[in-house]
Amino acid sequence: MQQVLDNCENKMMKSLESLSKDFSSLRTGRASASLLDKIRVDYYGDETPINQVATISVPEARMIVIQPWDKSLLPAIEKAILKSDLGLPPNNDGKLLRLNFPPLNEDRRKQLVKSAKANAEQARVAIRNVRREAMDELKKMQKSSDISEDEQKEGEAKIQKMTDSYIAQVSSLADEKEKEIMEI
């Protein structure tokens, strides 16, 4: 039974971590180097994360500066950023790229909040699916007489408590992200 509980908690934690990653790449009004985490650059035939071929810094609240270690990568990095869904055209001065973040308008903020809520709901669904799988596993164990009915009920209660805790954490993350997006 403990293995089922541990497995359940592991999967729920992964869902929460995935949501955090999704939120970090969701553009708010502020510049953040984590927005570039999903962007891959063609580096001598390999798709390489941008942070492994360049120095990324945030000198101002609304600007990201990307300085490639190899100047010949500048066009490839620029192309990768343009192909991404950031919606920010890079300024190329021959040595580095600058991404300037315009202030978000109200409609764009609402779209981002909607996207954040959708991500949070996906995480909640994933957590509930993990709960269902764990509950089913406990029922199978009880049917095959590996655990008693009391142990099954105790395990289900623990799983439900765990689920409630992770759902609350998802809601908390979603509320924080919404506040961050709506901030002017």
- Residue extents of the structural domains in the chain: 1-26+105-183, 33-100
Whether 88 has a pLDDT exceeding 90, the answer reads no
Mean pLDDT, residues 3-14: 93
State yes or no: pLDDT of 175 exceeds 90. yes
Whether pLDDT at 25 is above 80: no
Q: Is 114 left (phi over 0), alpha (psi -120 to 50) or beta?
A: alpha
Q: Write out pLDDT tens, residues 104-147.
A: 788 888 888 898 999 999 999 999 999 999 999 999 999 998 88
Structure tokens at 52: 């492994």
pLDDT tens-digit series, residues 32-63: 788 888 889 988 888 989 989 999 998 888 88
Per-residue model confidence (pLDDT) at position 184: 59
Residues 1 and 53: their CA atoms lie apart, in Å, by 46
161 pLDDT above the threshold of 90: yes
Instruction: Assign domain 1-26+105-183 to its CATH architecture.
Output: Orthogonal Bundle (1.10)
CATH architecture of the domain 33-100 equals: 2-Layer Sandwich (3.30)
pLDDT at 27: 64
d(CA 113, CA 35) in angstroms, rounded, equals 16
153 has pLDDT over 90? yes
For residues 171 and 174, give the distance between their C-alpha atoms in angstroms, rounded to a whole number. 5
Pair 181, 116: CB distance under 8 Å: yes
Helices and strands in the chain, H and E counts:
4, 6
Q: How confident is the model at residue 12 (pLDDT cuts 50, 70, 90)?
A: very high
Say what the pLDDT of residue 29 is. Answer: 66
Q: Enter the pTM of the model.
A: 0.71
